[in-house]
Amino acid sequence: MTAPRPLVAGNWKMNGLKAALGELKAIRDAVGSGGAGRAEAAICPPFTLVAAAAEAARGASLGIGAQDCHANASGAHTGDISAQMLADAGAAYVIVGHSERRADHGETDAVVRAKAAAGIKAGLTAIVCVGETRDQRVAGKANEIVGAQIEGSLDADFPATNLVVAYEPVWAIGTGLTPTTADVADMHAFIRGKLEKLYGRKGVDIRILYGGSVKPSNAAELMGVKNVDGALVGGASLTCADFMGIAGVYK
Ligand code: 13P
């Protein structure tokens, strides 16, 4: 049994104008010259840059993804983007169920599951996010909350090969706070157990990313934790120097 190939994915959130493609090309080149070592690297820019980013990364080893998709393939959904459209634009990944979407857009586990299914059906790898709030952790409910999110947001029919789970404690996102390595190890082992229950032996190969205030200065420690198969990086993915400082732990 070998550990899955790590994935370091950058979530640019609502950041990046066309000028940011320069940074993306710098990341592409750094990944191309081996800067991410044995890890797979991906950047998920805002929708407006997905096609241009995919064009810039065509034939290169940097993957491009999006940050959300609609559950339907097409139809009367003004302002929404389908997974098919993302695949057509050159995306290979789609993040679904990010806590900012769950909070800002009221996305339930059922909605997240439908979006993940749509992404997978379109040939994308779905990066499904889960994570507890500060209050939930303080109340000792982190496992209960994350367990329910996993069960509600995933489907046993998903092909394990197109599925990535990202554990992002809400209180660690953009705050500079991170859980202890012991807490990360406990949660990732708990998620691994859930994945093995859902997908059997294939659950061992599903990558479980850690996200929340990952920086070059803490990446080696966090990525060194058992069952942490990479990172989902927000703020520190916006510059080539910081992103490669994180991906570079896999060199
Ligand atoms: P930060 O790395 O900025 O804390 O964001 C994490 C995140 O939400 C990635 O999806």
92, 36 Cβ separation under 8 angstroms: no
User: For residue range 203-241, what is the model confidence (pLDDT) as tens digits?
Assistant: 999 999 999 999 999 999 999 999 999 999 999 999 999
Q: Is 1's pLDDT higher than 80?
A: no
Predicted local confidence at residue 3, as pLDDT = 82
Angle between the 21-32 and 47-56 helix axes, to the nearest 10 degrees? 40
- CA–centroid distance, 96 to ligand 1, in Å, is 14
Is the residue at 207 inside a domain? yes
Residue 149 is assigned to a structural domain of this protein: yes
- Number of separate domains in the chain: 1
Could you tell me if residue 232 is inside a domain?
Answer: yes
Question: Mean of the per-residue pLDDT values for the chain?
Answer: 98
CATH code for the domain in which residue 226 is found: 3.20.20.70
Ligand 1 and 246: CB distance under 6 A = no
Residue 164 DSSP SS3:
strand
Residues recognised as catalytic = 98, 168
- Which of 7, 13, 173 is the best mutation target for the ligand 1 pocket, counting ligand atoms within 8 Å of the beta carbon and taking the most? 173
pLDDT of 31 above 70: yes
E strand or H helix at 152, and its extent? helix 142-153
The answer, yes or no, to whether any atom of ligand 1 lies below 6 A from the CB of 98, is: yes
From the list 43, 40, 41, 101, the residue with the least C-alpha distance to 69 is 101
Look at residue 16 and tell me if it is in a domain: no
Q: Is residue 200 part of a domain?
A: yes
- Cα gap 53→64, rounded to integer Å: 7
Which residue from 74, 148, 150 is spatially nearest to 118, judged by alpha carbons? 74
Tell whether 120 is covered by a domain: yes
Mean pLDDT of all residues in 19-42 = 98
Question: What does the pLDDT look like over 62-72, one tens digit per residue?
Answer: 999 999 999 99
- Domain residue limits at 139: 63-237+244-250
Residue 36 lies in a domain: no
For 102-132, write each residue's pLDDT tens digit: 999 999 999 999 999 999 999 999 999 999 9
187: in domain = yes
> Any idea what the Cα angle at residue 38 is, between residues 33 and 39, rounded to 5°?
95
